[in-house]
Amino acid sequence: MDKKYSIDKKQCKRMIKGVCSRCGGKLEPIETIDNADNPSFWGGCKKCSVFCWGVEKKLFEIAKQLVMNNKLTPYSHKQKPTSENVEELEYWYQSQISGAVSIVYDVLEYYKMITNAD
């Protein structure tokens, strides 16, 4: 018996827009089960083990620069790891970048709204 997917692989590929918001890597359809327990495909990053539909590369790059240059720390309550553990530090940076993406998006949308109002 064929599986009936709530989102099939082709649909999923069409829904993926951009890159992973954590690492900037390629997203691909990943077979999973949706919240109603139906087989489905969701966009995701196998490197980061996260599901997401993607963000524009330029948004990711701006967010990454802001975080890496200590200009923005969206999750300031999470202390930057002080240990030499590379994986902990990478996870912290990826979390911060992912959080910064939505802030950058909002700033750019507000900019468009304000400049179009003039």
Per the CB < 8 A criterion, the answer to whether 103 and 74 are in contact is yes
**How much is the average pLDDT of 63-85?**
93
Q: Kindly list the distances between the CA atom of residue 59 and the CA atoms of 64, 65, 94, 105, 110, in Å, as whole numbers in the listed order.
A: 9, 10, 14, 7, 14
Q: What's the rounded Cα separation, in Å, for the pair 68 and 2? A: 47
State the pLDDT at residue 118. 65
pLDDT at residue 3, rounded to an integer: 76
* pLDDT at position 1: 59
Which band of pLDDT confidence, cut at 50, 70 and 90, is reported for residue 116? confident
pTM for the model:
0.85
Question: Over the stretch 23-68, which tens digit does the pLDDT of each residue have?
Answer: 999 999 999 999 999 999 999 999 999 999 999 999 999 999 999 9
